[in-house]
Chains A and B, each alone.
Chain A
């Protein structure tokens, strides 16, 4: 039932995220011409990356630590107390809640990645699409995991801001520092930095897996020690 609860908590967010995806998909309809020119494509690609990040941050938010959000809704302030009074370990709570959000994020990224390829200039094979999709998902995972960690300590608004600050910093640093640019998940998920024709960028992929793991492990530790 924890999965059911997590679904009830996040379903509207998921719908919102998919809905925003639809808008982006419909972009060519309000642009003159059949396929967007190179410059527009670059701009769109940046937007795609932003959307991946947004989805990851947004879907990681609800439920783990919601105390102040929806405080105006009667009966909601601190339903964490109800959850914690149930015979469930905190690790399991995190696993299910983070797990469902991760699945939703992956679904979103996969579909978006698919659209990106079929909208972009040049032909793309199924294999290239699959590889890009996988790479985009893996590189989005650390973004998701960081937001899970932040959501364990901060309330919703601060979690968004914290995540925003962090990934803006990475974005800035990746153009200044060689190390950061080599392992940055933001570059790893982008078709501008690594087009489909380029070989798989293993550095950001491995770095993403490692960071995602570290953030999730830290989340478990934080949640287990936290006092309510």
Chain B
């Protein structure tokens, strides 16, 4: 049994010369719920598709459940242990809820009928309803049901709560929490909804322009990252840009804002040495982390 469920090393993908992913490194441990963040076009959907074998990498290695995935056979083997919920939650329009369940069930010998019943009840999904008549939220719930009843060890999702109202979003997040608690399922989902990521994820992975920028435990990131606000009498000195151990500097008028996560005390002392009028050390939110790392200056 391997501890790291998703591992990529140097994963790269180019589309006719244009790189979508450049040497992406990821490691997601078993039992975690990891939020996969990045701007549109940063490579999130590409990464998910690579993990699922819908795309072939240009370079690099993918390991799921500790096994190398580099052929159709190994991809099929991995897919028997995972589930995927696409962004548009596409299912077959010529099937009903019941037919979709029966169809999916056939591929997974360890299907849990009890979970199927439980979630049909909980989500109030009628077996006879045709898939095109389901709302996006209900399709999401159906796909979650299919994922959970098959006993997936890994759940991959692309924008799970996009287009859903707040009540439905909360139901989905509760289902994910339930999944993590009951079965130790690992969840990895791409999302733009920072609020939901902060609520349900214990890990985040942020990518920008095809590369990993952050991959760690969210609470640890909040503990380590600090924003240091300095107000000077005049323009903030140029030396700030050259400070070691700083992730980011922003200047606005007389204020300089530094983002640091390693040896913050040393950075603060050094900053004090420049003679600012005021020094404030503040915690950093996920939104700030995201914006600072992807906008740059």
Contact = CB atoms under 8 A, between A and B. Distances in A.
Interface string A68-95: 0010011111111110111111100000
16 contacts: A1-B102, A4-B103, A8-B92, A74-B136, A75-B88, A75-B89, A75-B91, A77-B88, A78-B90, A79-B92, A81-B90, A85-B86, A86-B104, A87-B79, A89-B76, A227-B54
B93 A76 contact: yes
Given A84-B53, A85-B52, A227-B54, A75 B72 contact: no
B90 A88 contact: no
Nearest to A84: B54
Contacts of A228: 49, 54-55
Contacts of B23: none
Given A1-B106, A81-B54, A84-B52, 9 more contacts: A9-B94, A73-B93, A75-B91, A75-B93, A82-B84, A85-B86, A87-B80, A88-B76, A227-B55
Interface string B46-59: 00010011111000
B94 A8 contact: yes
Contacts of B134: 75
Interface of B: 49, 52-56, 72-73, 76-77, 79-80, 82-84, 86, 88-95, 99, 102-108, 131-132, 134, 136, 139
Interface residues of A, number: 26
Interface of A: 1, 4-5, 8-9, 70, 73-82, 84-90, 224, 227-228
B93 A79 contact: yes
B76 A76 contact: no
A164 to B, nearest CB: 26
Contacts of B90: 75-82
B71 to A, nearest CB: 10
Interface-centre pick from B92, B94, B107 (highest chain A CB count, 10 A): B94
A198 to B, nearest CB: 43
A82 B99 contact: no
Contacts of A9: 92, 94
A82 B91 contact: yes
A82 B132 contact: no
Nearest to B96: A8
Contact of B86 (A1, A4, A73, A82): A82
A147 B72 CA distance: 25
Nearest to A10: B94
Contacts of B136: 74-75
Nearest to B81: A87
Nearest to A79: B90
A9 B91 CA distance: 12
Nearest to B50: A227
Nearest to B87: A81
Contacts of B139: 75
A179 to B, nearest CB: 38
Contacts of B80: 87
Contacts of B53: 84
A81 B84 contact: yes
B93 A78 contact: no
Contacts of A85: 52, 54, 79, 82-84, 86
B26 to A, nearest CB: 19
CB-based closest 3 A-B pairs: A1-B106, A85-B84, A87-B80
Contacts of B76: 87-89
A12 to B, nearest CB: 8
A1 to B, nearest CB: 4
